[in-house]
Every structure is written in structure tokens, then in C-alpha cells.
Amino acid sequence: MIKPRTMPGVMELLPREQIALQRMLDVIRRNYERFGFLPVETPAIELSEVLLTKTGGETERQVYFVQSTGALDKAGEGVPELALRFDLTVPLARYVAEHEHDLAFPFRRYQIQRVYRGERAQRGRFREFYQADIDVIGKDGLSIRFDAELPAVIHAIFTELAIGPFTIQLNNRKLMRGFLAGLGIADAQQQALVLREVDKLDKRGAEAVRVTLTGDAFGLAGEVVDRLLEFVRIRSHGHDDALAKLAALGDGDETFTAGVAELREVLAMVRALGVPESAYAINLSIARGLDYYTGTVFETTLNEHPQIGSICSGGRYENLASNYTKSKLPGVGISIGVTRLFWQLREAGLIDQADSSVQVLVGLLDEARLHDNLQIARELRAAGINAEVQLDARKLKAQMQYADRAGIRFVALVGDDEAARAVVAIKDMRRGAQFEVARGELASALRVEIEQSRAMRSGDPA
């Protein structure tokens, strides 16, 4: 007999945890749509030649290739034809290039799907996980104002999830590249490598980054690294402080000046969009590890749980689909690693098991009342209330234990006495209280209870 077990690197949840995850996904989806983003889904399996356009070793080592059992005997040497997507960005690039003439630009898309990576098995790292992305893609050009809209989306989502205070940290890679050029680091490839190390500052600490940059791999002079580390330690506290710190940076080359101007414009728009200044800041160490970011970059962290790391990140890129089309398609986007976020929040005690999606259990006290109970359930469902019926008469205690374990808030009961008086007894499992309502008012009374419950826990992330 085969032992039932899941492979390492996947998250499999019990029903009440799955409901909590689903509600998180619902909040994200609802807010994406509120800001005018349109849904897109792409296949989990793509042509390998499409996925592997992001060259550079690391990606290729994490790709899961796909092969049917029928093709195994015919397989020759070389890369299999098909592979599982490892993110949603490359499929988006292919999608936009393929449907370019059918889309309206700027194209605003959201996508919430699973992706697959051959991650080394460890806590909090997943081989299969949900990503929730939004991107705005322009044709030939895209206003910097779209960059500023994304922090407003981030703020709306994490405010509704109510997982504690958070900060949307902003930077601009033009500003960073211009500053590096002023330090004498002018080669684009070396700049990209230095920015990757700088991006690790909050994780590894300043001394570790300093050792790496002055070591054999980079060979930068100590005074150059000291100036760089002093620069990337710059953080703001409030809108006016952010503008003052940008003004204090002084002059630089054309790239540096453009980066400062873009960041200043983004900050002004973020404020105009209603994001409170306590929720955003400049952080000049944010660089994002992916080299295709060219301008604004974002990272969002929980103030009281910095160990969780970034819970939402992204940025501006110059040409999304250069591998698939000659058209210039600049864009800006963000991604929420939902599975990892949910796992981290659960580990930190910020998410509890959710109540069941079943709102009412119609208990069965007597087999003779089964048809009446089925009618009660039909009426509740017609009123928009999710109802389950006990189809076997069991001891009342057993039915209550079932409802409690399943997370069902209300149990509706009709015995001989209740039937004679045309009432229904309602047991509120959360409060441990019991009350009666007239049979004809059951649905409306429960709707009031359910809405009151929703209002009271409107800030509950589950």
C-alpha cells in the first residue's frame, strides 16, 4: 500500500484554511477589478522556447519540463517541447504579443493563477504557488502616472485584508544607475550586479554587502562602497520628508536627474490618489533583483513583521515583449506571491481558520421531518444563504459537534414543539446562544444576523 503524502514544496490546506485563502484571493480580485483591471488566464503549460527567452542559468534550473508518457519512448536529446510556467510575466509577454492587434492599449490586466518552480525544499518556499499580478502595458509609450496608480491598488488590498500596518517602499532604478555612474561604475552589466547586491541590504545587513562589494567578485574601493552604502540607507518618513531627501541628493548625470524627477512625480500622484503618507516611503536600497526593471520599483513590507519580507513587489520595465514582437510595449506591474504570503501570515498568527462557507446547518431531529427540513434549506438558499441539511437523524450533541468542528455558525432546529408553534430554534455556535424566530421570518432573521457578523469582523483577514 502506498503511503498517502504530498511532495515537498506544496501547500495543501484543510477546508477552513482553504476558505481563508479563498477569501484573501477574493479581496485581491475584487480590488484589482475596482481599479479597472481585466481578467486574463494563460495555460499552465507553455512552449519551452517561449518560457526560456529569459536567459541566464537560474531560470533554466528552476523550470519543470512536461512530457506525456506516450512521448517518452520517442524523446531524443535536447529540451522537451513543453514546460510549466514559472511566473506570470513571461506568459503575459507572449499573450500581449500574440493578441496585440485585438487589445486596447493601455492594456490593464490582472491574472491570479498557480505557477511552478523547481525550488529547493525549505520552509516557506514553494514549488507550486499562487501569484496575483496586475500590469499596465502601453504601446510605444506609457505615462509615469500609471506607476503611481499601483501603490493605490496595493494600499486598497492590504487595508481590506487588515493584516496590520504596512509600508509601500519606492525607488527608481534610473536614480540608482545614475548614482553608480557618478561613483565610476559605468558598465551596465556591473551596475546590474551591484544593484542585485544592494537589494539584499535589508536581508544580509550592511557589513555583509560591504564585504561582497569590496571582495574579489567586485573589487570596488572601500571609499566607493562607503558612499554607496550611505546613499542606499536613505529612508523617508512622511511625504515632505521624502521630497526633502530627494532634493538633498544634489545633481548627477542625465539618468540620475530623470530618476529623481520620476520618483518625485510618482510621490505627488500617490498622494493625490489618497494613499496616506504613513503608508509609503522612499527606500533607496530597493532595487529589485530582476534586471528588466528600468524605472520605478516597489516593495511592500509589514511594519510589525519585517521578518516576513516583501509581501508585494514590482516595477516599471521598458519593453515587455521584445522577444516576441518588434513593437515597443513598455509597462509597469506588481505581483503578490499569495501562497507564500498566506503561509507567512498564518505562521505569524495573523490568520486564523475561517468560518465555514456554509452559513446554516439545518439539523434533523426526527426522520419524519426530513422533507420539511429540505424545504427550509431551499428557502434559505433562495434567500442567498448557504445551507447544509443533515440527511441522517443523529443525536443532537453529535450534530452540534459536527457544526462546531466544521465552523458552521448557525444551526436551525425544528422539533415537535417548534413545529406546533410555527417557530425555528436557532443555535449560534459562536456566541453559545439560542433564540427562536417565526418560521416565516427565518431567512430574513438569519440575513440580519449574518450581516451583523460581517460588519463586526469587517477587519478580519479571514
- What pLDDT, in 10s, does the model give residues 436-456? 999 999 999 999 999 887 776
Cell readout for 244 is: 526633502
pLDDT at 434: 94
Q: Is residue 73 over pLDDT 70?
A: no
Residues of the chain with CATH 3.40.50.800: 360-454
How far apart CA 385 and CA 167 sit, in angstroms, is: 38
CATH 3.40.50.150 matches 360-454: no
Q: Mean pLDDT over residues 149-172, rounded? A: 96
Q: What is the DSSP string of 246-307?
A: HHTT----HHHHHHHHHHHHHHHHHHHTT--GGGEEEBTT---S-TTEEEEEEEEEETT-GG
- Beta partners for 47? 82
Distance in angstroms (rounded) separating the CA atoms of residues 123 and 126? 8
**What is the pairing mode between strands 45-47 and 128-137?**
unpaired
Contact 232, 284 (CB under 8 A): yes
Q: What is the pLDDT of residue 80?
A: 86
pLDDT confidence tier of residue 59, bands split at 50, 70 and 90: low
In this structure, of 103-117, 170-184, 278-292, the range with the lowest mean pLDDT score is 278-292
pTM (2 decimals)?
Answer: 0.90
In the block, residue with C-alpha cell 529589485: 288
Residue 462 has pLDDT above 50, yes or no: no
411 membership: H or E segment, kind and range: strand 410-413
The pLDDT value given to residue 349:
87
User: Regarding the domain delimited by 165-303, which CATH topology (the fold level of the hierarchy) does it fall under?
Assistant: BirA Bifunctional Protein; domain 2 (3.30.930)
Mean pLDDT over 26-31 rounds to 98
Distances (CA, A) of 309 to 20, 122, 154, 200, 296: 21, 16, 16, 11, 19
Architecture of domain 8-161+317-341: 2-Layer Sandwich (3.30)
State the pairing for strand pair 423-428/433-438. antiparallel
What per-residue confidence (pLDDT) applies to 76? 62
DSSP structure string for 335-391: EEEHHHHHHHHHHTT---PPPPS--EEE--S-GGGHHHHHHHHHHHHHTT--EEE--
**Is pLDDT of 30 > 80?**
yes
The whole-number pLDDT of residue 461 equals 44
Residue extent(s) of CATH 3.30.930.10 domains in the chain: 8-161+317-341, 165-303
Rounded Cα distance between 24 and 18, Å, is 10
At residue 459 the predicted structure's pLDDT band, cuts being 50, 70 and 90, is: very low
Per-residue model confidence as pLDDT tens digits over 404-436: 999 999 999 999 999 999 999 999 999 999 999
